């Protein structure tokens, strides 16, 4: 939902970081120093995006939304447009936006890992057509487009807030995208909270604030021994579950503040965001103070007490609770979707702070677990056990090696005996695979924003149904194969259907079971096929129920505090195992299966037979009749008008404390203009700046395209600066400065490759730069030199340089609370090679580093890194070596030669703080200790050896909601001189 303001989790936030950098640069400029400084402020803010080569897009102009649609996703795009148009006015009023919210909307369909986001660079909304599989978001929504479009529109409105004269309005005058980014530097929980609040008031019962699977985490947190602070509700956590805490806390906080008055009002938000727009560097605590009329400390106390009291009253009303026996569970561990292997053993999926995610056997008496296979899985955790219990069928996202944004859901068979996995589909786009009664495989297959029932044959998946406005959640054949239960969502109504196994080629679905005003989840058959277990949110929290297919009644098996789901009945029908949610964990629990003593659900709440909606058959529809109107092929050049036109300043001023005899060459101040832009698909980007200084015009320009795999970029430059020199004046050596001009062109290419993306990740990144540049000295300072020397310095010196780089990560794995990887090998190498040079010595340098990460202790999250580095250069300072030399020797300059560095470092987390201040925009993530030992020596020479050992403390923190820092301070004992040096990084 931005860089990311995402529908599920935050993803990459570099766009926000660069937005802050650009905003600061454009506002403050660069400070004078010894060398020339030029404000640009837009480097790499705009980027290119490589998309699958076979994907084509069409543009469908509109007012106020121009849609850019991947061919084949027109139906989803039409639904998104309709949702945006219906909610635009209400969203603008909620956010206090007076503009028309004009923006392009990109709709993609090539990936199965769905998402939606708004980005200011360039300003656009981008949505992936396949629906998220998170029931908390979409179970009650008529469709994925109906909920994601309005959610993203809130973020677009937040970006467009313009409350009058101030910091944001000044930025907007020449760089609207930077102004939008400045608005989006509010705490993520505030932004996402407003969006979740809005999504929950569009369709009755839909949205996450109406979803017990979402609200249960807030209730569990606030009734725990350590309820969330206001800062924790509004900031993304670094190391503490749930990692979407800022969605949960922000939404509930927003709702509570909006409902403080008798009539729901969001004027507090409009007032707070108006102040943030005008003065973003005050911190949002001040903005909340302005909007709510109370200091942040009182706001936090009132919110906490209000929520805790309301949640406690609800618990007291629902007592007594089921006395379930815990099988396994502790904070930070999440057991999902158990199945019985026998009366004593379960298989379950597990992920958490200190375990590698995958499938595990769990002893139901002791809770002891043993690993079957380290494996990733789709976010719905819907997998199945084979009919003979010898294997599992699951789906996971398989990445396209060349396209960073494409992940395809593929089905795999995991053998329980040895954990071996076999991929069953190729480009299947399937979820929730299950073995059919005849031994074949069924699955749920993506179909735009909806899904179909498919069969898998010869590595491919073929749809068996042809419905629209429906989403299959789970297909469950009975143990005997005589009945097929299907969990199906029809326009926001999620109930149970059944199919006749005799009609395999085109199954006919008949409504079977539903609960009034409730959503059904997680169906599983009992061993004899009489009982069908499921979870449902009847009357509030999600609980476990059993449907007796003979007596045709529903019995409630649990009444838990926060949530119970994913039930499974033991082979002897003695026990029901299920997942129970508690604060920061999903536990495995069990209860005796005593259906006759369980309360029967009132028949008025039970829906049997034809009362459920029939899945509608697909209507034949052409792209022209989709409701989007006439379209044309996407042409990037139509979108490449400058998105930023900003002032550029160059400083090279006199230093006041410099002796008069030393003041030779200064360029003074330069003034100019810069431009930057990109198209919505990221096929092209450009930036450039030019300025007038010292009687001449200077500048640089870059263009890059993402149309091709190598993402080539071309830069032309002609820039000045001044360099320090030493000269003789009246027999004395004096400091002076001389002008230095550099011009040339450079071509760079880069290709990232995802070799493997499961729990263990492997990736390769290759880049190559080729640069031709000319340099010379200029200025009045040359007149004081001898004529022949001055002439030589004024002449152009040429060189052509190759700049190759490569990085390879092999089987790297890192758990959520690991500060560094606990396993893997990382190899990095870069070089600078003058392939040709004239009138200047050719320089060559190669630096390679290999780091191996060792799994010393997963439970204590201790990280161990062993490293070796090699540097070879034919002159000093070809490559920066400050990070290459051992700690304590950062000021050492390495000359020509070959050098080897060996080292080891241990990182130990001490405190996962994950809290901060609302008034002062500071958020501490983790405090850790580290120890190191390093030594560097020159190969084949009797030069000095540099060695140090030491230790220190590190603090990871976030400043102004977006700027991430990792500050280390320690002491290094330098072994050669035998002294102690304070080191910072």
How many angstroms from the chain centroid is the CA of residue 335? 23
Q: Which residues pair with 898 in a beta bridge?
A: 872
| Distance, CA of 872 to CA of 898 (rounded, Å) | 4
| Distance, CA of 176 to CA of 157 (rounded, Å) | 13
3-class DSSP assignment, residue 362: strand
| Distance, CA of 683 to CA of 660 (rounded, Å) | 53
Least Cα distance to 222 among 310, 332, 308, 303 occurs for 308
- 38, 797, 880 from 893: Cα distances, Å: 27, 25, 9
Instruction: List CB contacts of 582: < 8 A, sequence separation 6 or more.
Output: 220, 329, 561, 562
Least Cα distance to 924 among 939, 914, 909 occurs for 914
In this prediction, residue 942 carries a pLDDT of: 76
In this prediction, residue 681 carries a pLDDT of: 97
Q: Can you read off the two tokens belonging to residue 207? A: 């949205």
**Angle subtended at Cα 904 by Cα 902 and Cα 909, rounded to the nearest 5 degrees:** 160
Q: Can you read off the two tokens belonging to residue 739? A: 């002008």
- 41, 123, 671, 683, 702 from 689: Cα distances, Å: 10, 21, 10, 21, 9
Cβ count near 929 (within 10 Å):
14
Q: Can you read off the two tokens belonging to residue 645? A: 């036109």
Q: pLDDT digit string (tens) for 114-126?
A: 999 999 999 999 9
| Distance, CA of 947 to CA of 893 (rounded, Å) | 15
In this prediction, residue 21 carries a pLDDT of: 37
Contact 670, 698 (CB under 8 A): yes
Q: Any idea of the CA torsion for 829, 832, 833, 839, to the nearest 10 degrees?
A: -170
Contact 952, 927 (CB under 8 A): no
Q: Can you read off the two tokens belonging to residue 191? A: 């932004």
| Distance, CA of 721 to CA of 737 (rounded, Å) | 10
Q: Any idea of the CA torsion for 252, 253, 257, 259, to the nearest 10 degrees?
A: 10
Cβ count near 412 (within 10 Å):
21
Q: Map tokens 């942040």 to a residue.
A: 296
Give pLDDT < 70 ranges for the chain.
1-43, 261-265, 502-504, 620-626, 653-665, 725-735, 784-786
Least Cα distance to 307 among 217, 218, 213 occurs for 218
Contact 71, 46 (CB under 8 A): no
Contact 536, 520 (CB under 8 A): yes
Q: Map tokens 């230095």 to a residue.
A: 740
The DSSP call for residue 682 is -
| Exposed / middle / buried, residue 237 (Cβ in 10 Å: 0-12, 13-18, 19+) | buried
Backbone angles phi, psi at 656, to 5 degrees: -60, -30
In this prediction, residue 732 carries a pLDDT of: 66
Q: Are strands 484-490 and 493-499 parallel, antiparallel or unpaired?
A: antiparallel
Q: pLDDT digit string (tens) for 463-513?
A: 999 999 999 999 999 998 889 999 999 999 999 999 987 655 788 899 999
| Distance, CA of 830 to CA of 838 (rounded, Å) | 24
Q: Are strands 103-108 and 65-70 parallel, antiparallel or unpaired?
A: parallel
**Dmax over Cα atoms in the chain, in whole Å?**
111
For residues 968-985, one letter each, b for 16 or more C-beta atoms within 10 angstroms of the residue's C-beta and e for the rest, the string is: eebebbbbeeeeebebee
Contact 409, 429 (CB under 8 A): yes
Q: Which residues pair with 965 in a beta bridge?
A: 957
| Distance, CA of 903 to CA of 864 (rounded, Å) | 11
| Distance, CA of 742 to CA of 719 (rounded, Å) | 6
224 cis-preceded (ω within 30 degrees of 0): no
In this prediction, residue 621 carries a pLDDT of: 60
**Ramachandran quadrant class, 861 (left: phi over 0; alpha: psi -120 to 50; beta: rest):** left
| Exposed / middle / buried, residue 315 (Cβ in 10 Å: 0-12, 13-18, 19+) | middle
Q: Map tokens 């092209």 to a residue.
A: 684
In this prediction, residue 741 carries a pLDDT of: 93
Q: Name the CA radius of gyration of the chain, rounded.
A: 31
Cβ count near 668 (within 10 Å):
12
Least Cα distance to 291 among 96, 97, 151, 92 occurs for 96
Least Cα distance to 448 among 753, 767, 130 occurs for 130
Q: How many CA atoms lie within 13 A of 787 on its CB side?
A: 0
- 201, 430, 453, 505 from 499: Cα distances, Å: 35, 20, 11, 12
Cβ count near 499 (within 10 Å):
22
* Per-residue H/E/C for 482-501: CCEEEEEEECCEEEEEEECC
In this prediction, residue 572 carries a pLDDT of: 95
In this prediction, residue 891 carries a pLDDT of: 87
Contact 131, 147 (CB under 8 A): no
In this prediction, residue 96 carries a pLDDT of: 86
Q: Which residues pair with 930 in a beta bridge?
A: 907, 952
Contact 618, 467 (CB under 8 A): yes
DSSP H or E run through 395? strand 391-399
Least Cα distance to 452 among 435, 469, 477 occurs for 469
| Distance, CA of 141 to CA of 152 (rounded, Å) | 15
Cβ count near 434 (within 10 Å):
21
Q: pLDDT digit string (tens) for 748-764?
A: 999 999 998 899 999 99
Q: Map tokens 């004899």 to a residue.
A: 528
In this prediction, residue 659 carries a pLDDT of: 56
Query: How many residues in the chain?
Result: 985
Q: Are strands 325-328 and 915-917 parallel, antiparallel or unpaired?
A: unpaired
| Distance, CA of 229 to CA of 413 (rounded, Å) | 44
| Distance, CA of 564 to CA of 592 (rounded, Å) | 15
**Angle subtended at Cα 137 by Cα 136 and Cα 140, rounded to the nearest 5 degrees:** 85
Q: Are strands 915-917 and 862-873 parallel, antiparallel or unpaired?
A: unpaired
3-class DSSP assignment, residue 371: strand
**Cα torsion 425, 429, 434, 438: sign:** negative
Q: Any idea of the CA torsion for 142, 146, 152, 158, to the nearest 10 degrees?
A: -100
| Distance, CA of 400 to CA of 409 (rounded, Å) | 11
């Amino acid at each position: 939902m931005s860089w990311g303001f995402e529908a599920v989790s935050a993803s990459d936030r570099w766009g926000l970081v660069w937005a802050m950098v650009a905003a600061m640069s454009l506002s403050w400029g660069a400070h004078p120093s010894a060398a020339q400084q030029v404000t640009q402020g837009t480097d790499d803010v705009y980027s290119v995006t490589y998309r699958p080569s076979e994907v084509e897009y069409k543009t469908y102009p509109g007012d106020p939304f121009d849609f850019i649609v991947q061919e084949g996703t027109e139906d989803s795009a039409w639904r998104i447009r309709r949702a945006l148009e219906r909610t635009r006015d209400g969203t603008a009023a909620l956010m206090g936006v007076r503009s028309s919210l004009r923006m392009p909307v990109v709709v993609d369909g090539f990936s199965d890992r769905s998402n939606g986001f708004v980005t200011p660079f360039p300003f656009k909304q981008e949505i992936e057509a396949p629906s998220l599989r998170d029931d908390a978001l979409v179970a009650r929504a008529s469709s994925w487009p109906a909920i994601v479009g309005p959610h993203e529109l809130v973020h677009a409105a937040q970006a467009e807030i313009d409350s009058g004269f101030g910091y944001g309005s000044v930025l907007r005058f020449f760089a609207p995208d930077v102004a939008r980014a400045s608005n989006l530097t509010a705490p993520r929980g505030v932004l996402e909270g407003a969006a979740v609040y809005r999504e929950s008031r569009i369709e009755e019962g839909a949205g996450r604030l109406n979803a017990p699977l979402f609200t249960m985490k807030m209730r569990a947190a606030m009734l725990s021994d350590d309820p969330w602070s206001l800062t924790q509700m509004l900031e993304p956590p670094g190391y503490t579950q749930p990692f979407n805490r800022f969605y949960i806390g922000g939404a509930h906080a927003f709702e509570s503040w909006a409902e403080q008055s008798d009539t729901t009002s969001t004027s507090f938000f409009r007032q707070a965001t108006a102040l943030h727009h005008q003065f973003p560097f005050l911190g949002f605590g001040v903005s909340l103070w302005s909007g709510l009329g109370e200091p942040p400390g009182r706001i936090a106390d009132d919110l906490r007490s209000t929520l805790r009291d309301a949640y406690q009253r609800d618990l007291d009303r629902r007592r007594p609770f089921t006395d379930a026996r815990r099988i396994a569970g502790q904070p930070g561990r999440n057991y999902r979707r158990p199945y019985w292997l026998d009366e004593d053993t379960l298989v379950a999926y597990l992920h958490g702070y200190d375990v590698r995610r995958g499938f595990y056997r769990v002893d139901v008496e002791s809770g002891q677990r043993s690993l079957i296979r380290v494996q990733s899985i789709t976010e719905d955790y819907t997998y199945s056990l084979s009919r003979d219990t010898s294997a599992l069928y699951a789906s996971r996202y398989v990445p396209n090696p060349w396209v960073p944004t494409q992940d395809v859901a593929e089905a795999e068979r995991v053998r329980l005996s040895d954990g071996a996995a076999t991929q069953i589909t190729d480009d299947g786009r399937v979820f929730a695979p299950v073995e059919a009664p005849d031994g074949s495989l069924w699955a749920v297959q993506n179909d735009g924003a909806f899904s179909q029932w498919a069969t898998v044959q010869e590595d491919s998946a073929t749809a068996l149904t042809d419905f629209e406005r429906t989403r299959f959640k789970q297909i469950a054949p009975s143990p005997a194969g005589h009945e097929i239960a299907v969990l199906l969502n029809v326009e926001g109504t999620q109930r149970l259907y059944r199919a006749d196994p005799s009609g395999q080629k085109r199954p006919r679905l008949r409504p079977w079971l539903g609960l009034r005003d409730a959503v059904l989840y997680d169906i599983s058959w009992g061993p004899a096929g009489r009982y069908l277990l499921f979870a449902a949110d009847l009357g509030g929290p999600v609980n476990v129920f059993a449907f007796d297919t003979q007596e045709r009644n529903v019995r409630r098996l649990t009444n838990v505090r926060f949530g119970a789901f994913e039930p499974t009945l033991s082979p002897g029908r003695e026990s029901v195992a299920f997942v129970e949610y508690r604060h920061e964990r999903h536990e495995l629990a069990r209860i005796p299966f005593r259906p006759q003593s369980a309360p029967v659900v009132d028949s008025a709440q039970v829906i049997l037979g034809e009362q459920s909606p029939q899945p509608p058959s697909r209507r034949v529809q052409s792209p022209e009749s989709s409701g989007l109107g006439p379209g044309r092929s996407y042409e990037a050049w139509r979108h490449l008008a400058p998105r930023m036109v900003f002032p550029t300043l160059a400083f090279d001023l006199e230093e006041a404390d410099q002796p008069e005899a030393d003041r030779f060459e200064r360029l003074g101040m330069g003034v100019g203009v810069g431009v930057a832009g990109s198209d919505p698909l990221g096929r092209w980007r450009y930036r450039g700046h030019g300025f007038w200084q010292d009687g001449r015009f200077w500048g640089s320009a870059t263009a890059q395209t993402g149309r091709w795999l190598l993402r080539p970029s071309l830069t032309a430059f002609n820039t000045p600066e001044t360099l320090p020199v030493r000269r003789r004046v009246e027999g004395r050596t004096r400091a002076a400065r001389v002008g230095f001009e550099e011009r040339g062109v450079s071509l760079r290419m880069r290709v990232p490759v995802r070799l493997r993306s499961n729990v263990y990740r492997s990736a390769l990144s290759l880049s190559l730069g080729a640069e031709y540049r000319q340099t010379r000295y200029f200025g009045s300072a040359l007149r004081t030199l001898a004529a022949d020397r001055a002439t030589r310095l004024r002449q152009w010196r040429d060189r052509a340089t190759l700049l190759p780089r490569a990085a390879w990560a092999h089987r790297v794995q890192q758990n959520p609370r690991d500060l560094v990887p606990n396993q893997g090998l990382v190899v990095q190498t870069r070089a600078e090679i003058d392939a040709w040079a004239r009138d200047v010595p050719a320089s060559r340098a190669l630096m390679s580093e290999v780091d191996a990460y060792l799994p010393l202790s997963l439970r204590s999250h201790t990280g161990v890194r062993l490293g070796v580095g090699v540097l070879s250069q034919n002159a000093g300072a070809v490559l920066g070596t400050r990070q290459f030399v051992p700690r304590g020797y950062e000021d050492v300059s390495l000359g020509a030669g070959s050098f080897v560095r060996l080292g080891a470092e241990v990182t130990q987390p001490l405190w996962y703080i994950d809290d901060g201040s609302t008034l002062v925009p500071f958020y501490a993530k983790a405090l850790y200790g580290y120890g190191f030992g390093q030594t560097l020596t020159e190969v084949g020479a009797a030069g000095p050896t540099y060695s140090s050992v030491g230790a220190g403390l590190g603090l990871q923190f976030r400043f102004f909601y977006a700027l991430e820092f990792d500050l280390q301070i320690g002491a290094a004992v330098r072994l050669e001189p035998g002294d102690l040096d304070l080191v910072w990084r």
